[in-house]
Structure 1
């Protein structure tokens, strides 16, 4: 039965074969009895490494929370939750994080009755204290990006969380870097340690490495020239400061690029909008601080561009880990100003990238993102949205891309050239008998 479930999930995800790390993780988590520590590079599929055995261990007929997944950011909580939902395992799940009312999450917990909850440490503690999640029923705790949780100062919150889970049977820790010592509060017992980190090569061998020389200290013109040469491919531009992200994003928009800006100073909804547009192909460039270097599960990122050079080797590893995920290939570009040098920790073969004469204008993304003002609480499903857009908006199903339905709203990607048509035709129309707003996500 479990093999059948696994085969169905892998077929649904379009995965032919698991990596060695994922196979070993499944074996140790599913058939072993010890706690498990998994060390594996960014982009190697650690989310599936713990989710695939977890869906085989949990009881879909039990309506209580059986597993907590602790994560350092709301983005990773949302994305990991989305991965589990996409697996079609029969398990119910929910993401919980700061920035929205705890009471709203409690209502969803009560209605949804999830068996798995993905959350940030502080918010999970809040729900446990209030009895919104029953501590005595939880058998498994997974701490993903464990090193990042420590780096962000969540020690006390994690210690408090683990201390109030009396029925824990297994602890599973995952990290892309090797922590020198795991703090005692984790209460690890006998441990199976799976180490797939590579010591001497921070850049994946499937990533081609280039340097792009800028004749000026202000590298914006060189960046625009490079992006023009990359055409429709998806690129992340990394900078070290929030103000630089804002400045660079504004410049690229003025040049005609369709971009998404992402940094820690944005409101939660702005960050979610930015990631959604980039991941569904509605923007071709994500301009970001290193906040986007970890915890994002966007499979088709072609290029990583270092506008500001990474501060250390660890930052480089996490940035470049956004591309060449699974068996894909990718490219990374270092923009080098007149007074800059390639970092010493870049050991890969580096080619000089020659910029060709500019094209006339940036390539437009194939898709655009629409906001629909109704969601799950209005009993709206993805099928309802497809029917609405086809019947009222005049679209073919082939012109509709990724759809995400939240509690009170939905996002949908449509062919860019059809966006204005949809907005015009759906103005004042009803979806499932209720009038709704349809507007573009800028």
Structure 2
């Protein structure tokens, strides 16, 4: 049975949210129709809640087995979605599966199937092919950050999973960038398309500042810039893991509390690092493009491009971590002599 309006308000209250933003309201209505939905909105705009709330209405507490499957490109996003679901307190179980996690633990969790399964394509397919996961009753599929999954080469595992869903009724695709043409394997039929991409208004809220470094080694310039930004929640982007570690250590040595984040770190270290940045115990996150999208990092006030990325798209995604919705922000580009 669908929850009443009061119950939806109660779910929001558990997240300390007063009301949905326009994108979430439109997505809630569209997904509620049961039609396929393609939602294009910036990372961090609230897409997770946009599809979890209607899922809470759609799932049947009396049914057995996995009813909804959410595929994501990264383990951090899987954990983030699972956490939001648990905070909603629907009473319906959820678990996540991802590379690097103990398969035996996941197998035990799947032995008593949750209503909602969140996972990365490769690991979900592994459980499916081994027989540990039964998807015969999955009615709803969410391909979250679908553009990122395509970019990372998850075409084949996603296609294989889709072929194995006999009861699938609804597909929900979310993306941070507009997809001109959807891959055939997605099987999307006459979707409701919702686009909440940036445009002139968001560009006006983002201030881009060029910071010139007098020397080829820009660490001193970075230090001075961080000092100038004060208590601002800041993401510093570099292109390589080794550069992240070097810059983080240099800031540490000068008394700047910061945290390093990149794909070479163990999963538990990455989770603790994100927690420190989110709770404000580290106001500066020094990172690769791993943090440019797909992660819930609220209230970022400044972006620093220590290195410029190799593509315009990556530059846009980095800047998209700030100046979200109605907020303003600044992006600083450090250039050498």
Normalising by the smaller structure, the TM-score range is: over 0.9
Distance of aligned partners of 1:327 and 1:202 in 2 relative to their CA distance in 1, 3 Å threshold: closer
For 2:336 and 2:302, locate their aligned partners in 1 and report how far apart those are by CA, in whole Å: 19
Partner of 1:265: 264
**Scaled by the length of structure 1, what TM-score is found?**
0.72
1:240-389 → structure 2 map (5 Å cutoff): 240-338=239-337
Partner of 1:142: 142
How far the C-alpha of 1:204 sits from its partner, in A, is: 4.2
How far the C-alpha of 1:284 sits from its partner, in A, is: 1.7
Question: What's the CA shift string for 1:78-133, capped at 9, x where partnerless?
Answer: 1111122222222221111011221111113335x421111000111122223333
Question: What's the CA shift string for 1:190-245, capped at 9, x where partnerless?
Answer: 211112224x5495433333222222221110110111122222211001112211
For 1:201 and 1:176, locate their aligned partners in 2 and report how far apart those are by CA, in whole Å: 17
Partner of 1:78: 79
How far the C-alpha of 1:332 sits from its partner, in A, is: 1.8
Matched, 1:93 2:103: no
Distance of aligned partners of 1:106 and 1:205 in 2 relative to their CA distance in 1, 3 Å threshold: farther
Partner of 1:401: none
Of the three residues 25, 28, 43, the one matched with 1:23 is: 25
For 1:117 and 1:33, locate their aligned partners in 2 and report how far apart those are by CA, in whole Å: 19
Quick one: higher RCO (CA 8 Å, sep 6+), 1 or 2? 2
Distance of aligned partners of 1:108 and 1:204 in 2 relative to their CA distance in 1, 3 Å threshold: farther
Partner of 2:204: 205
SS in 2 for 1:68: strand
Cα RMSD between the aligned structures?
1.8
Distance of aligned partners of 1:203 and 1:320 in 2 relative to their CA distance in 1, 3 Å threshold: farther
Partner of 1:399: none
Q: Unaligned stretches of 5+ in structure 2?
A: none
For 1:148 and 1:202, locate their aligned partners in 2 and report how far apart those are by CA, in whole Å: 25
For 2:291 and 2:141, locate their aligned partners in 1 and report how far apart those are by CA, in whole Å: 25
Partner of 1:121: 121
Aligned residues: 335
Of the three residues 10, 13, 16, the one matched with 1:14 is: 16
- Residue pair 1:5, 1:89 contacting (<8 A) in 2 also: no
How far the C-alpha of 1:330 sits from its partner, in A, is: 2.4
Partner of 1:105: 106
- Residue pair 1:203, 1:320 contacting (<8 A) in 2 also: no
- Residue pair 1:36, 1:172 contacting (<8 A) in 2 also: yes
Question: What's the CA shift string for 1:273-309, capped at 9, x where partnerless?
Answer: 2212222222121111111101110212221111112
Q: Higher Cα Rg: structure 1 or 2?
A: 1
- Residue pair 1:209, 1:333 contacting (<8 A) in 2 also: yes
SS in 2 for 1:245: helix
Partner of 1:47: 48
**Scaled by the length of structure 2, what TM-score is found?**
0.93
- Residue pair 1:45, 1:326 contacting (<8 A) in 2 also: no
- Residue pair 1:299, 1:325 contacting (<8 A) in 2 also: no
For 2:245 and 2:88, locate their aligned partners in 1 and report how far apart those are by CA, in whole Å: 36
- Residue pair 2:301, 2:330 contacting (<8 A) in 1 also: yes
- Residue pair 1:304, 1:323 contacting (<8 A) in 2 also: yes
SS in 1 for 2:334: strand
